[in-house]
């Protein structure tokens, strides 16, 4: 199961934009850390055969989040005032002890 230097494994190459054969050029804890594309010979971190999210997907996620925040806006925080419209700080009587 452990990868070894020089092993040929599949991975996604961003330059070739597809899964290609890669040689393991760096190992981390017995797993491929860096690989080299056998088609274009570019080195990159091993990405477990996962394609990175495309710009289109990122844009879509952005829109989705924007819609979500529009549907559920954060609750408004009204200014705290006493019954007669005077802010609490001003209404507080000076010198009074804080006893129950």
Which C-beta is closer to Zn ion: that of 10 or that of 57? 10
Q: Shortest approach of Zn ion to residue 13 CB, angstroms?
A: 3
Q: Shortest approach of Zn ion to residue 37 CB, angstroms?
A: 3
Rg value, the chain, Cα: 30
Which C-beta is closer to Zn ion: that of 32 or that of 37? 37
Provide the terminal-to-terminal Cα distance of the chain, rounded to the nearest Å.
70
Q: Shortest approach of Zn ion to residue 4 CB, angstroms?
A: 21
Which C-beta is closer to Zn ion: that of 24 or that of 37? 37
Give CA torsion, residues 76, 77, 80, 83, to 10 deg: 20
Interface contacts to Zn ion, rule CB under 5 A: 13, 15-16, 37, 39-40
Alpha carbon distance 100, 95 (integer Å): 15
């Amino acid at each position: 199961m452990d990868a070894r230097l020089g092993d040929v494994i599949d991975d996604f190459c961003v330059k070739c934009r597809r899964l290609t054969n890669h040689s393991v050029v760096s190992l981390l804890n017995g797993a491929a850390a860096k690989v080299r594309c056998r088609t274009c010979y570019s080195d990159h971190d091993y990405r477990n055969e996962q394609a990175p999210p495309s710009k289109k997907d990122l844009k879509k996620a952005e829109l989705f989040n924007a819609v979500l925040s529009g549907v559920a806006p954060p609750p408004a925080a009204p200014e705290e005032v006493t019954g007669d419209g005077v802010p609490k700080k001003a209404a507080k009587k000076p010198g009074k002890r804080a006893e129950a």
